[in-house]
Amino acid sequence: MILREATVRDVPVIRAIALTTWPVAYATILSPQQLRYMLELMYSEDALREQLLGKGHRSTLILLDDVAQGFASFEHGYNGYPVTRLHKLYVLPSAQGIGAGKHLISHVVECAKDRGDTAVELNVNRFNPARMFYERRGFRIIRDEVIDIGSGFVMDDHVMRLELR
């Protein structure tokens, strides 16, 4: 597996991964209406370009035989604090279980350390089994939050944190 920094040219690839993973990951958690709404809100090509170019998010693709299998999107110095914010981490269902997610999260942690950040934080839906993936990597729930995302929808999340040494 190879990691490669994503560029704006990779926006269609990132979007395709999201469109493939979200219906599987959230099938029993979100309504079909909320799923469609959130994909358009966060994964339209315009939204992804804005995240990369306007919001300072970094995205890394993980490739197997030159084919993207997943990605992580993160931001250093989140809200002016020495915290790296993991905004997104998704691996294609067909590539789950081969270590791609572990590889991506390790990369984000190393980038955070290299940047001098003292923690990595993320939000995960409180009903998403991915929470256990993060817990196995040392993340702990530090609080819960419900975020109004518009159109009558909310994100009901755990905020998880990994302290870096």
Question: pLDDT (tens digit, 9 = 90+) per residue, 99-140?
Answer: 999 999 999 999 999 999 999 999 999 999 999 999 999 999
| 100 in Cβ contact with 64 (< 8 Å) | yes
Which residue ranges form the domains of the chain, and what is each CATH number? 2-163 (3.40.630.30)
Tell the residue number behind the tokens 């370009």, with chain if given. Answer: 49
Q: What is the rounded CA–CA span in Å between residue 6 and residue 70?
A: 11
Q: What is the mean pLDDT of the chain?
A: 95
Q: Which of 42, 60, 40, 38 is closest to 51 using CA atoms?
A: 42
Whether 165 has a pLDDT exceeding 80, the answer reads no
Contact between 119 and 164 under an 8 Å Cβ cutoff? The reply is yes
**What pLDDT, on a 0 to 100 scale, did the predictor assign at position 12?**
97
What is the SS3 string spanning 68-87? Answer: EEEEEEEECCHHHCCEEEEE
Beta bridge mates, 163: 119
